[in-house]
Amino acid sequence: MTIELTPQMLAVIPILAMVLEMVKGIAPLAWLKPWMPFVAVGLSFGAAVLFGIGSTLEQQVIAGVLMGLATSGGYDAVRVPTKIQEKSGNGTQPPVTP
């Protein structure tokens, strides 16, 4: 199976990025910020199914993951556990010097 970015995918990525930035700015949804990479992949999968990107479900899943990682940035997706740990206060904190 060949995986490639299509013009449809390249058109959807900036739109999803704008939607996610608007969601981040809404105060009641601030708790979603650490989970935005997962939200991006979910919305991207929905867009792939809605716009018919890929002919099979497998291709739509791959297109959704690819667009979601491009939208949120793969680096942010890897840092999700660290962000959650920092927010909960369970992470290691540097020592306080007087």
The domain of 37 spans: 7-87
In a domain, 18, yes or no: yes
Average pLDDT, the chain: 80
In a domain, 23, yes or no: yes
In a domain, 70, yes or no: yes
In a domain, 51, yes or no: yes
pTM: 0.69
Domain count, the chain: 1
Cα dihedral 51, 54, 56, 61, rounded to 10, equals -80
In a domain, 97, yes or no: no
In a domain, 96, yes or no: no
In a domain, 46, yes or no: yes
User: What is the per-residue pLDDT across 8-54, written as a single tens digit (0 to 9) for each?
Assistant: 888 999 999 898 888 888 888 878 888 888 888 999 999 999 998 88
User: What is the per-residue pLDDT across 45-75, written as a single tens digit (0 to 9) for each?
Assistant: 999 999 988 888 998 999 999 898 888 876 5
